[in-house]
Amino acid sequence: MLVTTNSTTYRSFLDRYFHFQENRTSLKTELMASFTTFITMVYIVFVNPKILGDAGMNSQAVFVTTALITGIACLAMGIIAKLPIALAPGMGINAYFAYVLVGSMGLTWQTGMALIFLGASGLFLLSVFRLRYWMIANIPFSIRIGVSSGCGLLITLIGLHNAEIIVADPDTMVRLGNPTSYPFILGCLSFLIVAVLAQRGWNSSILLSFIVVTLIGWLIDPAVVYHGVVSLPPDISQVVGQLDFSKVFEVSLFGVIISVMLINLFESSGTFIAVTDKAGLADKNGHYPNQQRSLYIDSASSALGSAMGTSAVTAYVESASGVAVGGRTGMMACGVGVLFLLMIFFSPLEKMVPLYATTGALIYIGVLMASDLARVKWDDLTESVPAFVTTIMMPFSFTITEGIATGFITYVFMKLFSGKYKELTACTVIMALLFLARYIFL
């Protein structure tokens, strides 16, 4: 009888705190939504360590810190903002950090992560001073589309490279890799599995692709070795708090900080609006409950994530999968957070997953991000040209910064000399001038 009373009291507290009745949900429904969301986004604890490991970071430590910051951010979102939105290190920023800042520009990973931290901190200040949505409203739609699509193409290029499907060539710049190699074959297979399962409505398509490709690799590829399943978490001190600010304030790196801030700004803001709208929590103007709290948590988690050595954290659109099965409250986010915290004990699995197993996830995310190009006004060159320039400059220059910079400059030039200068906003002109000054004084 006592157990029943305690259970009832406990459930009553959760009902009151998360407003289950008002949101037409229940604890059982929220927990099912938590598990669904977790399954759709748990791939990040395998992809993030592989990408950051290519920058010279300890992948085992990154596996743990990725799970930790995801758990902390989700619990904060659930308890404080009470929203059904999960957060984790963002795809795109992690690839930009590893392959551009460290790989292409030659920065140390400690310096690169410090730049990510400053960009995330800038987003936090925008949230504190309530400038975040002002910027979203005043940055051209075509630029936003270009940034999203360009990031998608850059991520796709990285995915193709990781599986050796596309390799460097001194004569043609790039060429097709060896179609008979294990990375090529299994990399292609990983993408096809994700694409087919996603088309059939399987929310866990990316995770299932990881499992299938890793198991096949274990059977046929000598490089894939089983290291166990469960263990105590490894030492994470070698990646936590290892930020190097000694070179981050050089003029040439100013654009990097702005780029990181804008990428997080576009990605997380769009996700918040999309998920809360799907959950029936947003009004016609895109406002939803505890909006300012959610922005604080999002940007603070992003800064904390970079300080912990996991790259910037952002809201995950995969949260919509949990909302689709009934998740409506912060209890869903809390459940996701707890499940990710438990993942810190499964670090041996990270060693077993081959790099080419991440190819499917990277290309599929590229498909989703590039799909926004359909929304560009192609018949208006003052909109389509900046969107196109922003998009193609990211993969072709192998840096997000140049895509954003050339996009803003092109937009202002097109509007100014096409007689549509009245469509320019102060925010857009300022950004274009800042990036132009960066090129002049670089």
**Tens of pLDDT, residues 12-45:** 788 889 989 888 899 999 999 999 999 889 999 9
Give yes or no for residue 3 having a pLDDT over 50.
no
| Alpha carbons 89 and 311: distance in angstroms, whole number | 6
Each residue of 304-357: pLDDT tens digit? 999 999 989 999 988 988 898 889 999 999 999 999 999 999 989 888 889 899
Q: Is 174 helix (H, G, I), strand (E, B) or coil?
A: strand
Query: Residue 208, SS3?
Result: helix
Which residue is listed with tokens 């490991």?
53
Tell me how far the alpha carbon of residue 234 is from its chain's centroid: 25
132, with CB counted inside 10 A (0-12, 13-18, 19+), is buried
More confident call, 244 vs 3: 244
C-alpha span between 304 and 294 (Å, rounded): 15
Per-residue model confidence (pLDDT) at position 262: 85
Residue with tokens 């202002």: 412
Give the Cα-Cα-Cα angle 85, 87, 90 (nearest 5 degrees).
Answer: 135
- Percent helix, strand, coil in the chain, to 5, is 70, 5, 25
Mean pLDDT over 42-53 rounds to: 92
pLDDT above 70 (res 8) = no
pLDDT digits (tens, 9 = 90+) for 200-252: 988 788 889 989 999 999 999 998 998 888 899 999 999 999 999 998 888 77
The Cα 292–Cα 130 span in angstroms is 8
Cα(70)–Cα(77) distance, rounded to whole angstroms? 11
Contacts of 442 (CB under 8 A, 6+ apart): 251, 252
* Planar angle of CA 215, 216, 220, nearest 5 degrees: 120
The pLDDT mean for the chain works out to 90
Largest CA distance in the chain: 79
- Distance of alpha carbon 57 from alpha carbon 432, whole angstroms: 34
C-alpha span between 309 and 57 (Å, rounded):
9
Instruction: Inform me whether the pLDDT recorded for 385 exceeds 90.
Output: yes
> Of the spans 49-53, 203-207, 272-276, 362-366, which averages the highest pLDDT?
49-53
Q: Where residue 2 falls among pLDDT bands split at 50, 70, 90? A: very low
Confidence category of residue 263, pLDDT binned at 50, 70, 90:
confident
pLDDT at 317: 84
Write the Ramachandran bin of 23: left for phi over 0, alpha for psi from -120 to 50, otherwise beta.
alpha
* pLDDT of 1: 40
CA dist 226 and 232 (Å) reads 17
Q: Can you tell me the mean pLDDT for 251-270?
A: 84
Tens digit of each residue's pLDDT (9 = 90 or more) over 386-426: 999 999 999 998 888 889 999 999 999 999 999 999 999 99
- The predicted model scores a pTM of 0.84
Hey, which residues does 176 pair with through a beta bridge? Answer: 166
338 is written with which tokens? 């707890």
Q: Is the pLDDT of residue 154 over 70?
A: yes
Contact by Cβ (8 Å): 388, 407: no
User: What's the mean pLDDT in 154-170?
Assistant: 91
Do the Cβ atoms of 73 and 305 come closer than 8 Å?
yes
